[in-house]
Amino acid sequence: MAPVTAPLDVTRPVFKSWFTLAGLMVAVLLTYWNSLDTPFLFDDTGAVVNNPTIRHLGSWAVLDPPADGSTTSGRPLVNLSFAINYAISGEATWSYHALNLLIHALAALTLMSGLQRTLTSPVLGARFARASHFLAFFIALLWALHPLQTESVVCIAQRTESLCGLFYLLTIYGFIRAAEAGASSTRVWFVLSLVSCFAGMGTKEVMVTAPLLVLLYDRTFIAGTFSAAWRGRRTFYAALALTWAPLAWLVWRSGGERGTAAGFRLGVSGWNYLLQQCDAIVLYLKLSVWPHPLVLDYGTVVAHSIADVWWQGVLVVAMLAATGWALWRRPAAGFAGAWFFIILAPSSSFVPLVTQTMAEHRMYLPLVAIVCFIVLAVHRWLGPWATGVLALAALACGITSVARNRDYRDAVAIWSDSTTKYPLNPRAHNNLAWALQAVGNIAEANTHFSRAVELQPDYISAHYNWGVSLLDQGRPAEAIAQFETALQLAPNNADASLNLGNALMQVQRAPEAINYYETALRLKPAADAHYNLGVALLDLERTAEATEHLQAAIKINPRLTAAHYQLGRAAEISGRPTQAEQHYLETLRLAPDHIAAHGKLGLLLARREQLASAAEHFRAVIRLQPRDADAQANLGNVLLLEDKPRDAITCYEEALRLRPGDQRTRDNLQLARESLR
């Protein structure tokens, strides 16, 4: 193919351009308006709620997200964007969703602008130039409103996909503008392309393919051959290749893997994962044309043999062959096929992403190729009828997306939807159970926990979460069984060891609990492990060791109120009332309504004959817990010692009303009455 350097001259009225740009923005806004109050869901917890690096926007930590396999791992610009949101609204989700929506809208505008110039290129201009504005608008509109995009826009953590998509599209758009003959600001557009590519590398690993698609675009629509593209812009391509360096550094820094999320040493072979992607790609194609049912989480299923996915494999291989042929004989059509497969390759080839072997958000950019094919086919086949058909399709997409957004309204709704549509996914059942537990629907939660471990007996998280739930339900014996199973599957699970210790404490097996607390501390030193071990040791009257661990807990977390209180208990047991008083006072400084601390401090002060102060603490207990018979009786004792027998009688009578069989209180009441004679 001979290179052509000048695009066809097609007049585009300014008012039409601005009108369609505004229309596209409004359509996106209306479609996703009902998602702005969606809570944090699924991966959002790791990306935002449990991410300490986004707490201080002015710190360099925002560019160093946790290397724990969460959504932000190795993606500093995504982490920075979350830090900006956190600075604006903390853990209120509206600003996160607003930025997600803005990113998606900008990506749609960039796509429309790039498509319009592509459709007026020498390769396509003869067929599409006159309708380029119309076609670019509807392709961008259908892509932006397509229900398959809802996960990428509504799920906060999937900003990785949409932000990378925006940088990807800006990289190509900047190149298109720079390569246009007669462009007045060529250098500026080349810089935009390079900066966007560089930024994308810090957003998501799929950006690794962008330099390849820029070169392929050049060969297909501008230069005509790879050699001509290289000769004409070798400096630019060399600079573009340098953007791989930061991505390589980020991957190297994480050891070549994304924590427990992706890699070859995580229990899934590259071959099995590749087979599963045959099924995934066919599913993506189906959902692109008929987006139902949409599922948030397809789990971790993999194919184990070719027989499992033979017909999907045949179809994918045929599509790859057709793409290869088209790149040779029909370059524009081949570019669409290459766009689809090349962008999907990092997540849908042989590198295992073990935490999600299929995911709808991976179609964020590949969907462009499918929508282009459909819109251009409708335009060619229906002619003047195409406008009405495409408008109806856009309306249907928008309405369906609005409805899909409602599925994300809370955790119970989205996981109920997932288990209904994909009932064999144990993770969906586990997550639904956890959401049901949070809203107090205990019976149904247990049903879904049971279903999760039935579907996947070695599902560590389901056993662990069920154990935590049973512990909260006051069923420690059953919780012990789940924690023990989790530890059999994962002996180094510090949280399971810690909670098994907690369950054992509830059934009065403190010596065994201590062993598990010590294991948890060895695996993951933490304030709660030190605290729980300290309490267990205190119950066994090993006061010195208990004090050591409680102090260690406070050193890690000075605001751990319960540790200060337990240190007060330890000091009392050791015969150090002054220290005990200090710890109880610190407990009340941190938690003014700590009932037990008020009660303990009242007794200490009463013994030291500081009766007025003791009375105030007993009154505080009664204010917070009016049915506390001990507090009423203790206040009566203090008042009697203060020579206030009438007030003491009132307290004793209330204590006896609450606990009629208390002989000591009855005797004290008699003493108070006698003192009035």
pLDDT of residue 6: 39
Q: pLDDT-based confidence at 1, cuts 50/70/90?
A: very low
Indicate whether 481 pLDDT > 90.
Answer: yes
Please report, to the nearest 10 degrees, the dihedral formed by the alpha carbons of residues 285, 287, 293, 297 taken in order.
Answer: 70
Q: What is the pLDDT of residues 425-460, one digit of tens each?
A: 999 999 999 999 999 999 999 999 999 999 999 999
Q: Radius of gyration of the chain from Cα atoms? A: 33
Rounded to whole angstroms, what are the CA distances from 149 to 71, 508, 637?
18, 53, 70
pLDDT of residue 258: 55
Nearest C-alpha neighbor of 209 from the set 98, 342, 303:
342
Indicate whether 521 pLDDT > 80.
Answer: yes
Q: How far is residue 267's CA from residue 180's CA, in Å, rounded to a whole number?
A: 49
pLDDT of residue 19: 83
Helices (H), 507-610: 510-523, 527-539, 543-556, 561-573, 577-590, 595-607
pLDDT of residue 8: 37
Nearest C-alpha neighbor of 367 from the set 293, 301, 316, 291:
291
**CATH number, position 633:** 1.25.40.10
Q: How far is residue 533's CA from residue 539's CA, in Å, rounded to a whole number?
A: 10
Is there a domain that residue 507 lies in?
A: no
Indicate whether 11 pLDDT > 60.
Answer: no
What are the backbone dihedrals phi and psi of residue 299, each rounded to the nearest 5 degrees, phi first? 80, -155
Is there a domain that residue 255 lies in?
A: yes
Residue where a domain stops, chosen among 389, 405, 421: 405
Q: What is the pLDDT of residues 296-324, one digit of tens each?
A: 999 998 999 999 999 999 999 999 999 99
Is there a domain that residue 450 lies in?
A: no
Q: pLDDT-based confidence at 12, cuts 50/70/90?
A: very low
Q: What is the pLDDT of residues 347-397, one digit of tens each?
A: 998 788 888 899 999 999 999 999 999 999 999 999 889 999 999 999 999
- DSSP bridge pairs for 262: 353
Is there a domain that residue 161 lies in?
A: yes
Is there a domain that residue 654 lies in?
A: yes
Residue where a domain stops, chosen among 405, 428, 459: 405
448: amino acid identity, one letter: H
8 A C-beta contact, residue 241 and residue 192:
no
Rounded to whole angstroms, what are the CA distances from 181 to 110, 136, 176, 184?
20, 21, 10, 9
Q: How far is residue 593's CA from residue 545's CA, in Å, rounded to a whole number?
A: 28
Give the pLDDT mean for 279-291: 97
Tell me which of 253 and 35 has the higher pLDDT.
35
Q: What is the pLDDT of residues 146-184, one digit of tens each?
A: 999 999 999 999 999 999 999 999 999 999 999 986 666
Q: pLDDT-based confidence at 9, cuts 50/70/90?
A: very low
What are the backbone dihedrals phi and psi of residue 316, each rounded to the nearest 5 degrees, phi first? -65, -45
Q: How far is residue 183's CA from residue 151's CA, in Å, rounded to a whole number?
A: 38
The DSSP call for residue 47 is I
Domain that holds residue 64: 14-405
* 623 Cβ neighbours under 8 A, 6+ residues apart: none
* Average pLDDT over the chain, rounded to an integer: 93
Q: What is the pLDDT of residues 134-148, one digit of tens each?
A: 999 999 999 999 999
Is there a domain that residue 514 lies in?
A: no
pLDDT of residue 75: 95
Angle between helices 595-607 and 611-624 (to 10 degrees): 160
Q: How far is residue 368's CA from residue 269's CA, in Å, rounded to a whole number?
A: 30
Q: How far is residue 77's CA from residue 196's CA, in Å, rounded to a whole number?
A: 12
Is there a domain that residue 561 lies in?
A: no
Is there a domain that residue 289 lies in?
A: yes
Indicate whether 622 pLDDT > 90.
Answer: yes
pLDDT of residue 251: 86
Indicate whether 4 pLDDT > 60.
Answer: no
Q: How far is residue 54's CA from residue 77's CA, in Å, rounded to a whole number?
A: 11
Structure tokens at 78: 């995504």
Residue where a domain stops, chosen among 405, 422, 443: 405
Helices (H), 591-628: 595-607, 611-624
pLDDT of residue 267: 64
Number of domains in the chain: 2
Q: Is 108 exposed, middle or buried (0-12, 13-18, 19+ CB in 10 A)?
A: buried
Other C-beta atoms closer than 10 Å to the C-beta of 583 total: 25
Write down the residue that tokens 């094919």 correspond to. Answer: 373
Angle between helices 14-32 and 386-407 (to 10 degrees): 30
Q: pLDDT-based confidence at 621, cuts 50/70/90?
A: very high
Helices (H), 90-184: 94-119, 125-128, 132-145, 150-154, 159-179
Determine if the pTM surpasses 0.85.
yes
Q: What is the pLDDT of residues 50-76, one digit of tens each?
A: 999 999 998 999 999 988 778 999 999
Nearest C-alpha neighbor of 81 from the set 202, 208, 193:
202
Indicate whether 517 pLDDT > 80.
Answer: yes
659: amino acid identity, one letter: R
Q: pLDDT-based confidence at 526, cuts 50/70/90?
A: very high
